[in-house]
Amino acid sequence: EPEVTQTPSHQVTQMGQEVILRCVPISNHLYFYWYRQILGQKVEFLVSFYNNEISEKSEIFDDQFSVERPDGSNFTLKIRSTKLEDSAMYFCASIRGVLREKLFFGSGTQLSVL
Amino acid sequence: SQELEQSPQSLIVQEGKNLTINCTSSKTLYGLYWYKQKYGEGLIFLMMLQKGGEEKSHEKITAKLDEKKQQSSLHITASQPSHAGIYLCGADPGNQFYFGTGTSLTVIP
């Protein structure tokens, strides 16, 4: 079965540093998502992306966050100046269409901000 | 925004017992997904339900969708330690795909 690939699997950074989390969605998919899960808490929606622009974003996705699809395959999440509370597991997901299809998730990037 | 409330929040069962997890939506459900998350790991797709009254099974896991009640249930028969993890329901994808609050399942051998 096709897979969404995320790199790195673990990222440790100092507070205030910029981090870029990378995702390679499935090749014929059109919609892309980022989610995060703080340890012991719910999986939270961050942002959705379609046709090279943000479709929707949550309150969590403030000015410190940005997403980009720099080429035909990668989908990145950038955190400009990391805070301690950004420590979480970040999941990328993709789907081919919008309605009633399986949402494929990557295995996640565990971000630790020290 | 759509809210998905799961119950119970956590469940501890003896191996071999049956169990049910519920997912209730604040809005009409046009489709419902079930995912499983092993502790500290990624999200594993279990099932997708598209129509009211639909029921799907995979191995010992059965899920049903009741659109009128805006509810879905996940039933595990004869639970095993391999069933342990966090079960998440998710709303139909659109611009924003929501997850439920999660149910943590522990199966005691």
Q: What pLDDT score does B92 carry?
A: 67
CA–CA dist B22, B32 (Å, integer): 12
Check residue B31 and give its pLDDT: 80
Joined together, the tokens standing for residue A78 give 């950038």
Q: Do residue A31 and residue B101 have CB atoms under 8 angstroms apart? A: no
Cβ distance A56 to B95 less than 8 Å, yes or no, reads: yes
Of the candidate ranges A16-30, A62-76, B93-107, the one whose mean pLDDT is the lowest: B93-107
Q: Which of B96, B99, B101 to mutate to test the interface with A (most CBs of A within 10 A)?
A: B96
pLDDT value of position B2: 66
Pick from B41, B88, B92: CB nearest A43: B88
Angle subtended at Cα B64 by Cα A102 and Cα A107, rounded to the nearest 5 degrees? 35
What confidence tens digit (pLDDT) does each residue in B27-81 have? 877 788 999 998 767 888 899 898 778 899 988 999 999 888 889 999 999 999 9
Residue B1 above 70 pLDDT? no
Out of A44, A105, A110, name the one closest to residue B43 (CB). Answer: A105
Closest Cβ–Cβ partner in B35, B88, B92 for A100: B92
**Subunit contact B93:A98, Cβ cutoff 8 A:** yes
pLDDT at B93 over 60: no
A2 pLDDT more than 90: no
Mean pLDDT of A82-101: 87
Letter string b/e over residues B53-74, b meaning 16 or more CB atoms within 10 A of that residue's CB: ebeeeeeebbbbbbbeebbbbb
Closest chain A CA to residue B42: A107
CA distance B90 to B48: 9
| Contact (CB, 8 A) for B99 and B89 | yes
The residue-averaged pLDDT of A44-54 equals: 91
Confidence (pLDDT) at A98: 63
Tell which residue, A25, A43, A30, has the closest CA to residue A106: A25
CB-CB: which of A42, A45, A91 is closest to B43?
Answer: A91
pLDDT for res A90: 96
Q: What is the mean pLDDT of residues A16-40?
A: 93
Distance CA A64, CA A77 (A): 10
Find tokens 């119950």 and name the residue: B7
Average pLDDT, chain A: 91
Q: Note the pLDDT of residue A71.
A: 86
| A80 phi and psi angles, rounded to 5 deg | -70, -50
Give the three-state DSSP class for B83: helix
Q: How many CB atoms lie within 10 A of CB A54?
A: 13
A100 and B50 in contact by Cβ < 8 A?
yes
Report whether A76 contacts A23 (CB < 8 A). yes
Please judge whether A98 and B94 are an interchain contact, meaning their C-beta atoms are less than 8 angstroms apart: yes
Mean pLDDT of A88-105: 84
